[in-house]
Amino acid sequence: MAISKIQDAGVSLTGAALPAGSVLQVVQAVSTLSFSTSSTTYTATGHTASITPSSATSKVLVVYGGNWCIQAANTQVDVTARSNQGATNLGLGTFYSATASGFTCATLGFTFLDSPATTSSLTYTIHAKEAGLSGTVNTGTEAKTLTLMEIAA
């Protein structure tokens, strides 16, 4: 839910009166879905979050963090977000191991400031791929977070 008006003791402040850079709303989706792929093309992981900007000039700050594992040497995981506005990758988190034996895991994340220019509902989805020579990348059931913040322009 976006805050569009704050009123106290006769003083009223609307979202339009907030200075540029103000956080207008925050949405967070926590996922415990497991995901595994050996695909070298980005694949949707099922982790999504949605936000509806209150102004077409607003920005959306996309923040992701999660634990990812790789199996096999010379394996790399690339994780990104995409919105329902298109297939453009928004941000990139990457983890590579030249000597992985069994599973090697690391926390990775990224932050990206999107300029969607809309007041329509936006759904951001996390995508991942195996970007090394071969192997499998996966995430277990540990909590992964996708946070969306509407920022006043």
Does 3 reside within a domain? Answer: no
Cα(145)–Cα(142) distance, integer angstroms = 10
Report the number of distinct structural domains present in the chain.
Answer: 1
Segments of 4-133 assigned E as strands = 5-8, 11-14, 23-31, 35-37, 43-51, 59-71, 75-83, 90-97, 103-114, 122-130
Our measurement of the distance from residue 133's CA atom to the centroid of its chain's CA atoms, rounded to an integer in Å, reads 25
pLDDT interval class at 91 (50, 70, 90): confident
High-pLDDT (> 70) share of the chain, %: 86
Cβ atoms 110, 80 nearer than 8 A: yes
CATH (domain of 51): 2.60.120.1340
Query: pTM of this prediction?
Result: 0.84
Does 2 reside within a domain? Answer: no
Does 1 reside within a domain? Answer: no
Q: Report, as an integer, the average pLDDT of 49-66.
A: 96
Of residues 13 and 22, more confidently modeled: 22
Q: What is the pLDDT of residues 21-37, one digit of tens each?
A: 999 999 999 999 999 99
pLDDT of residue 113: 95
